[in-house]
């Protein structure tokens, strides 16, 4: 229980709906911690149990060693930024920021000093006497932050704070939030469905789905080493291969030696996978997956290398498959290719680090080779077929995108993973 | 004709029927009432020739200050009670599930489907010395057998609150329904206890509804005539009763008109005040329209 903020086995049900199920998290002091997941995954409910607006059915919440589970919201040393900001429309910006201090009956001089400090921090001194209806969305956002921070909370709770802003403003506020966190140094608990926001701001992320914490880790851990197909598909783009482990063998990560010729005691940390329609694939196996077992592998689009001609034979740790380009989406800094390879439709991203116009580009219908290193595929602990729906596959027929998810699931097999 | 002028013309055309209606049936009669107050009365109950200030002078009758005072305090107390009762009601209505809410709203307006007079006579039956309320109070030792519940200011106040309550509930509910309840959470989040949050966030949030409720209850209360006439006695007469007496008993129309004009002035004055205050506020805030009763249903 040494951690600053602890959720211990928190569950919350609404009627038959399990909003949060046995969620346990510990958050460090000063950390920028995100709860990330699709809508209805229970992230907001979990935040509201910390704010005090919901009482968990089971489990306890500890803040700074104190059990706050049964405290009403106004007795908790946490403050919330609401999705709609919830600024008091009848009060000026100044009075909104002063609200908490006035409730706490602080001396007038102190209130003035603190409010002015906050106004200076959010650079809105000249808007102090405007009403919320007279300021822009980004300004409301900043006032909401100031109104919460002026109370010096131990944790600042942010419930989708950028969701109401347009894209440009969202990107700017993202940077501002980061600056504010660096400046005030208090713990931030940030709830979002936007993986980009969570990845760019957070020290650590808890990915949630259906009321459960699916994975907890730094943004890089979650992106590079997803535990299951949900995390892999929800965070960024990915490709799944399904197969069975044909053989386990020892190898060295650098992969410069031929297979199985490592010196010393060989650790059996590589696996040869049998995947329908492909030559055997080599993949790093850090899981306790035995020979003959079924396994799913996630490979991020940027891990592939795409070749117009057959790549030079490298070594045994590089997988090579062939396919045909089905779709090319040029994005400036990079190009996204959809490559048909056997039953799979693979997403490949090529970063343009060289001057693109000097190259002969890869076009639609081109025959291509894809290579990737055995270390760049990541074996999943769990694989669920329905998580494929989270991947953004281009439609194969016009109108397909408007079909019901059930129809999408049927077509999904043609997409990223095996049928 | 350019488009702006055409638009203006069509606006005039569209709004003129209601303007004409208001002018013919509201403005003209009001002006007539004020005018008749300056006419002499004839012994046949008609309006005499020429102009006079005698009628206005007769308002100096020492009975009137007491009646005017009683009219005002009864109206103020009835309005205050209605708002105090209607505010929590509006709050809970707005928080109810929509299906439940429809049912309760229906119950709120259900009394309107029975004749106003019948409902007031029903109160007379209830409060009668042999009525059920009296017997219940005596049985509970809350009243002595000699207490009279009818024909006093208390009975008038009770029945006034009863008849006006829906007119307070509906605008307050309409405002509460538009209230962003996350503001209450925000107030609690910032350290306000639940009652504090209610007064610091909810009450200012529905102030337009409260103001409407005030006008909707206070103005008809000032003009009450039927309620004090049926459940009130000589000690609980209101200005409305006096106006009726001057009209029907004394057949002195100018005197009745003078009293009406005095009452109208008493109603218009606070209203102008309120409208001025509201206009000042409206300039500061946008999108805070006056919630109509229709909007509440």
Q: What is the pLDDT of residues A101-130, one digit of tens each?
A: 999 999 999 999 999 999 998 889 999 999
State the pairing for strand pair A239-249/A270-274. antiparallel
Question: Are A133 and B286 an interchain contact pair (Cβ–Cβ within 8 Å)?
Answer: yes
- Residue A375 CB burial class (10 angstroms; 0-12, 13-18, ≥19): middle
Residue A176 belongs to what H/E stretch?
A: helix A167-184
pLDDT at A78: 94
pLDDT at B284: 54
Residue range A135-169, pLDDT digits in tens: 998 899 999 999 999 999 999 999 998 888 888 88
State the pairing for strand pair A32-36/A204-209. parallel
For residue B94, give the CATH number of its domain: 1.10.3720.10
The pLDDT of residue B184 is above 90: yes
Q: Which has more confidence, B276 or B240?
A: B240
Tokens describing residue B283:
């300039």
Among the listed residues A228, A133, A123, the one whose alpha carbon sits nearest the alpha carbon of residue A176 = A123
Query: Which chain B residues are Cβ-neighbours of A51 within 8 angstroms?
Result: 185, 189
Q: How far apart are CA A349 and CA A336, in angstroms?
A: 5
Q: How far apart are CA A206 and CA A375, in angstroms?
A: 25
Taking CB atoms and an 8 Å cut-off, how many pairs form between chains A and B?
A: 77
pLDDT at A265: 42
| pLDDT average, residue stretch A319-334 | 90
User: Which percentage of chain B shows pLDDT scores above 90?
Assistant: 41
Tokens describing residue A253:
């990560």
Query: Which chain B residues are Cβ-neighbours of A148 within 8 angstroms?
Result: 189-190
Q: Which has more confidence, A268 or A29?
A: A29
The pLDDT of residue B186 is above 80: yes
The answer as to whether B72 is a domain residue is yes
A13: three-class secondary structure by DSSP: strand
pLDDT at B185: 94
List residues of chain B with CB under 8 Å from any CB of chain A: 180, 182-183, 185-194, 196-197, 200-201, 204-205, 207, 284-288
Question: Are A84 and B182 an interchain contact pair (Cβ–Cβ within 8 Å)?
Answer: yes
Q: What is the mean pLDDT of chain B?
A: 86
Residue range A235-265, pLDDT digits in tens: 988 999 888 888 888 765 444 444 444 444 4
Q: How far apart are CA A366 and CA B172, in angstroms?
A: 69
| pLDDT average, residue stretch B162-170 | 94
Query: Which chain A residues are Cβ-neighbours of B282 within 8 angstroms?
Result: none
Q: How far apart are CA B203 and CA B88, in angstroms?
A: 10
Tokens describing residue B35:
């005018």
The pLDDT of residue B74 is above 90: yes
Enclosing domain of residue B192: 37-296
pLDDT at A399: 63
List residues of chain A with CB under 8 Å from any CB of chain B: 51-53, 72-74, 78-80, 82, 84, 86-91, 99-100, 103-104, 131, 133-134, 147-148, 151
Q: How far apart are CA A342 and CA A278, in angstroms?
A: 8
pLDDT at A393: 67
Domains assigned to chain A: 5-224 (3.40.50.300), 229-412 (2.40.50.100)
The pLDDT of residue A134 is above 90: yes
Three-class DSSP labels, chain B: CCHHHHHHHHHHHHHHHHHHHHHHHHHHHHHHHHHHCCCCECCCCCECCCCCCHHHHHCCCCHHHHHHHHHHHHHHHHHHHHHHHHHHHHHHHHHCCHHHHHHHHHHHHHHHHCCHHHHHHHHHHHHCCCCHHHHHHHHCCCCCCCCCCCCCHHHHHHHHHHHHHHHHHHHHHHHHHHCCCHHHHHHHHCCCCHHHHHHHHHHHHCHHHHHHHHHHHHHHHHCCCHHHHHHCCHHHCCHHHHHHHHHHHCCCHHHHHHHHHHHHHHHHHHHHHHHHHHHHHHHHCCCCCCCCHHHHC
Question: Are B189 and A73 an interchain contact pair (Cβ–Cβ within 8 Å)?
Answer: yes
The answer as to whether B128 is a domain residue is yes
Query: Which chain A residues are Cβ-neighbours of B288 within 8 angstroms?
Result: 89
Q: How far apart are CA A337 and CA A364, in angstroms?
A: 9
CB B77 within 8 A of CB B69: no
Residue A196 belongs to what H/E stretch?
A: helix A195-201
Query: Which chain A residues are Cβ-neighbours of B207 within 8 angstroms?
Result: 90
Work out the end-to-end distance of chain B between its first and last CA atoms, rounded to an integer number of angstroms.
Answer: 42
The answer as to whether B195 is a domain residue is yes
Of B185, B200, B201, the CB nearest to A53: B185
Tell me how many degrees the CA angle A181-A83-A206 measures, rounded to the nearest 5: 60
Question: Are B188 and A86 an interchain contact pair (Cβ–Cβ within 8 Å)?
Answer: no
Question: Are B189 and A74 an interchain contact pair (Cβ–Cβ within 8 Å)?
Answer: yes
The pLDDT of residue B295 is above 50: no
Query: Which chain B residues are Cβ-neighbours of A82 within 8 angstroms?
Result: 182, 185-186
| pLDDT average, residue stretch A307-314 | 82
The pLDDT of residue A412 is above 60: no
Domain count of chain B? 1
Test the B interface: residue of A103, A118, A145 with most B CBs within 10 Å: A103
Residue range B210-238, pLDDT digits in tens: 999 998 999 889 888 899 998 888 888 89
Question: Are A82 and B193 an interchain contact pair (Cβ–Cβ within 8 Å)?
Answer: no
CB B221 within 8 A of CB B79: yes
The single-letter DSSP state of residue A398 is T
Among the listed residues A202, A187, A189, the one whose alpha carbon sits nearest the alpha carbon of residue A152 = A187
pLDDT at B50: 82
The answer as to whether B171 is a domain residue is yes
CB A355 within 8 A of CB A339: no
Residue A228 neighbours by CB distance under 10 Å: 20
pLDDT at A396: 66
Tokens describing residue A418:
């095996």
Rg (CA), chain A: 25
Residue range A373-397, pLDDT digits in tens: 888 888 888 888 778 777 766 666 6
- CA-nearest residue of chain B to A152? B190
CA distance A77 to chain B (A): 9
pLDDT at A57: 94
The answer as to whether B160 is a domain residue is yes
CB A71 within 8 A of CB B193: no
Residue A328, phi-psi category: left (phi > 0), alpha (psi -120 to 50), beta (remainder): beta
pLDDT at A251: 66
Question: Are A131 and B285 an interchain contact pair (Cβ–Cβ within 8 Å)?
Answer: yes
The pLDDT of residue B279 is above 80: no
The pLDDT of residue A49 is above 90: yes
> Is the ipTM value over 0.85, yes or no?
no
The answer as to whether B87 is a domain residue is yes
pLDDT at B100: 92
pLDDT at A339: 92
The answer as to whether B202 is a domain residue is yes
Q: What is the mean pLDDT of chain A?
A: 85
Distances from the Cα of B268 to the Cαs of A334, B70, B281, in angstroms? 72, 18, 20
Q: How far apart are CA B230 and CA B233, in angstroms?
A: 8
pLDDT at A375: 85
The answer as to whether B29 is a domain residue is no
pLDDT band at B292; cut points 50, 70, 90: very low
Test the B interface: residue of A68, A71, A78, A99 with most B CBs within 10 Å: A99
pLDDT at A186: 92
A383: which residues sit within 8 A by CB, 6+ positions away?
A228, A229, A240, A242, A296
pLDDT at B252: 87
Among the listed residues A219, A150, A155, A161, the one whose alpha carbon sits nearest the alpha carbon of residue A186 = A155
The pLDDT of residue B192 is above 70: yes
CB A348 within 8 A of CB A327: no
Among the listed residues B117, B131, B129, the one whose alpha carbon sits nearest the alpha carbon of residue B230 = B117
* Lowest mean pLDDT, pick from A343-347, B8-12, B44-48: B44-48
The pLDDT of residue A76 is above 90: yes
Among the listed residues A152, A47, A104, the one whose alpha carbon sits nearest the alpha carbon of residue B191 = A104
């Amino acid at each position: 229980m040494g951690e600053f903020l602890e959720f211990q086995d928190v569950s919350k049900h609404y009627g038959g709906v399990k909003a949060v199920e046995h969620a346990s998290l510990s958050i460090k002091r000063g950390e920028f911690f995100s709860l990330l997941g699709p809508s209805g995954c229970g992230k907001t409910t979990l935040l509201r149990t910390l704010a005090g607006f919901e009482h968990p059915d089971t489990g306890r919440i500890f803040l700074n060693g104190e059990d706050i589970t049964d405290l009403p919201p106004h007795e908790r040393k946490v403050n919330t930024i609401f999705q709609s900001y919830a600024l008091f429309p009848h009060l000026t910006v100044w009075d909104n920021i002063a609200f908490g201090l006035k409730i706490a009956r602080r001396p007038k001089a102190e209130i003035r000093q603190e409010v002015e400090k906050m106004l200076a921090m959010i650079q809105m001194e000249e808007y102090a006497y405007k009403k919320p209806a007279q300021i822009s969305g980004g300004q409301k956002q900043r006032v909401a932050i100031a109104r919460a921070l002026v109370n010096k909370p131990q944790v600042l709770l942010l419930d989708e704070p950028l969701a109401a802003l347009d894209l440009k403003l969202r990107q700017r506020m993202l940077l501002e939030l980061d600056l504010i966190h660096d400046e005030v140094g208090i713990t931030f608990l940030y709830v979002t469905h936007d993986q980009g926001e969570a990845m760019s701001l957070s020290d650590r992320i808890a990915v949630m789905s259906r009321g459960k914490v699916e994975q907890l880790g730094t943004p890089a851990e979650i992106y590079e080493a997803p535990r299951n197909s949900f995390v892999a598909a929800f965070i960024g783009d990915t490709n799944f291969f399904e197969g069975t482990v044909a053989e386990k063998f020892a190898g060295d990560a650098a992969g410069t030696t031929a297979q199985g010729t490592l010196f010393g005691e060989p650790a059996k940390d590589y696996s040869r996978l049998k995947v329908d329609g492909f030559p055997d694939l080599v993949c790093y196996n850090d899981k306790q997956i035995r020979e003959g077992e079924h396994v799913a592998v996630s490979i991020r689009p940027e891990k592939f290398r795409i070749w117009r001609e057959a790549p030079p034979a490298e070594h045994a740790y590089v997988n090579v498959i062939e396919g045909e380009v089905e779709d090319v989406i040029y994005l400036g800094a990079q190009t996204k290719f959809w490559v048909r390879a056997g039953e799979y439709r693979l997403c490949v991203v090529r970063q343009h680090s060289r001057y693109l116009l000097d190259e002969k580009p890869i076009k639609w219908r081109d025959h291509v080779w894809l290579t990737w290193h055995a270390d760049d595929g990541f074996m999943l602990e769990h694989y669920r077929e329905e998580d494929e729906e989270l991947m953004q596959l281009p439609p194969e027929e016009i109108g397909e995108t408007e079909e019901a998810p059930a129809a999408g699931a049927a077509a999904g097999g043609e997409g990223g993973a095996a049928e | 004709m350019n488009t702006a002028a055409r638009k203006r013309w069509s606006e005039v055309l569209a709004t003129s029927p209601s303007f004409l209606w208001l002018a013919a049936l509201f403005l003209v009669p009001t002006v007539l009432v004020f005018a008749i107050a300056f006419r002499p009365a004839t012994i046949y109950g008609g309006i005499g020739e020429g102009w006079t200030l005698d009628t206005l002078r007769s308002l100096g009758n020492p009975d009137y200050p007491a009646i005017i005072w009683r009219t005002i305090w009864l109206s103020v107390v009835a309005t205050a009670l209605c708002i105090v009762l209607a505010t929590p009601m509006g709050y809970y209505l707005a928080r109810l599930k929509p299906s439940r809410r429809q049912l309760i709203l229906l119950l709120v307006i259900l009394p309107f489907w029975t004749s106003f007079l019948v409902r007031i006579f029903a109160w007379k039956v209830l409060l009668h010395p042999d009525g059920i309320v009296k017997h219940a109070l005596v049985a509970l030792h809350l009243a002595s057998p000699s207490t009279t519940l009818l024909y006093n200011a208390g009975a008038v106040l009770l029945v006034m609150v009863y008849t006006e309550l829906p007119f307070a509930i509906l605008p307050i509910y309409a405002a509460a329904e538009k209230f962003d309840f996350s503001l209450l959470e925000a107030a609690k989040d910032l350290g306000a206890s639940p009652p504090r949050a209610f007064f610091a966030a909810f009450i200012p949030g529905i102030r337009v509804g409260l103001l409407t409720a005030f006008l909707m209850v206070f103005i008809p209360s000032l003009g009450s005539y039927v309620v004090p006439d049926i459940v009130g006695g000589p000690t609980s007469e209101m200005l409305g009763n006096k106006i009726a007496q001057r009209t029907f008993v004394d057949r002195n129309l100018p005197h009745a008109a003078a009293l009406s004009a005095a009452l109208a002035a008493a109603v218009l004055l606070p209203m102008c005040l309120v409208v001025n205050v509201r206009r000042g506020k409206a300039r500061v805030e946008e999108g805070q329209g006056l919630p109509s009763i229709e909007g509440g249903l």
